[in-house]
Amino acid sequence: MPSLLVSALVGLVGARLASSTVQALRTAHNQSPFSNSANLPATSSCGGGVASCTNTTVVSDLCCFEAPGGLLLQTQFWDTKPSTGPANSWTIHGLWPDHCDLGFSENCDPSRAYTNIGGLLSDQGAQDTLDYMQTYWVDIDGHDETFWEHEWKTHGTCMSTLKLRCLPEGSPKGAEVNGSSIPAHFKLLRTSFRPSRFSTP
Ligand SMILES: *[C@@H]1O[C@H](CO)[C@@H](O)[C@H](O)[C@H]1NC(C)=O
Ligand SMILES: *[C@@H]1O[C@H](CO)[C@@H](O)[C@H](O)[C@H]1NC(C)=O
């Protein structure tokens, strides 16, 4: 049995994640050969909003504001004997949009339960993201692709900011999975906390 530490971080970071995710998608789209930048909404339309779960009135644009899952729960593992992934690092489990009252939704859009997520990413020129995932977002039994599909289907499809209508028109299939900003958030969180000992007795 591997020993493992689980860390879960809950944060009211919804609006910040939401805006940078959408912005990154729009920025990425701007740079893609498929883009028609004239059709893109201004990236500033997502800036400066109130954080998810702290709003006092209804926020209408859910492409820039994560709802109802405004509490983002990131889970990560530090396991040993044997370690999964790098021995000196957390590995990613998932990022889950919990509701403000700690309830949650799951499996929000079966039509976007994509398979071959690795292929979708490499087709979209996101080899850097894929490399990062292959290092830090690894499955305990080596079934990384199945693991990513499960996390995307169960939790990713519930992110309001990643709905298809939030993507620029003409985006390729799976463009919302091309989360060039999401690994950046993981990176920050993954490196922000360290267990007090590298291995458990
Ligand atoms: C905050 O915005 C969400 C999304 O529009 C809405 O469901 C919720 O009721 C709002 N909260 C308040 C207190 O108005
Ligand atoms: C996918 O993300 C990468 C960054 O990792 C970006 O360079 C690329 O343009 C994106 N592709 C599309 C189709 O948005």
Is the pLDDT at 56 greater than 90, yes or no? Answer: yes
pLDDT in tens, 13-46: 333 333 333 333 333 222 222 222 223 333 335 7
Q: Facing residues of 97 across strands?
A: 72
String of DSSP letters for 133-193: HHHHS--TTS-HHHHHHHHHHHTGGG-GGGSGGGSPTTPPTTGGG--TTHHHHHHHHHTT-
Counting ligands in written order, the one closest to the CA of 126 is 2
Instruction: State the closest ligand 1 atom to the C-alpha of 57, by its place in the atom list counted from 1.
Output: 14
Which residue type is seen at 61? D
Is the pLDDT at 190 greater than 70, yes or no? Answer: no
Counting ligands in written order, the one closest to the CA of 59 is 1
Strand order in the sheet with 71-80: 3-11, 71-80, 91-98
> What pLDDT band is residue 89 in, cutting at 50, 70 and 90?
confident
Long-range contacts of 43-49 (CB under 8 A, 24+ apart): 46/18, 46/19, 46/22, 47/19, 47/23, 49/15, 49/18, 49/19
* Best residue for ligand 2 mutational test, from 29, 32, 35 (most atoms within 8 Å of Cβ): 32
Distance 155 CA to ligand 2 centre (A): 21
Distance CA 77, CA 91 (A): 5
- Does residue 159 contact residue 148 with C-beta atoms inside 8 Å? no
pLDDT number for residue 126: 87
Average pLDDT, the chain: 75
> What pLDDT band is residue 72 in, cutting at 50, 70 and 90?
confident
Distance 144 CA to ligand 2 centre (A): 21
Catalytic residues: 93, 151, 155
pLDDT number for residue 198: 54
Instruction: State the closest ligand 2 atom to the C-alpha of 34, by its place in the atom list counted from 1.
Output: 13
Q: 188: closest CA among 152, 136, 120, 134?
A: 136
Q: Determine the 3-state secondary structure of 110 from DSSP.
A: helix
pLDDT number for residue 77: 85
pLDDT in tens, 94-144: 888 999 999 999 999 999 999 999 999 999 888 988 998 899 999 999 999
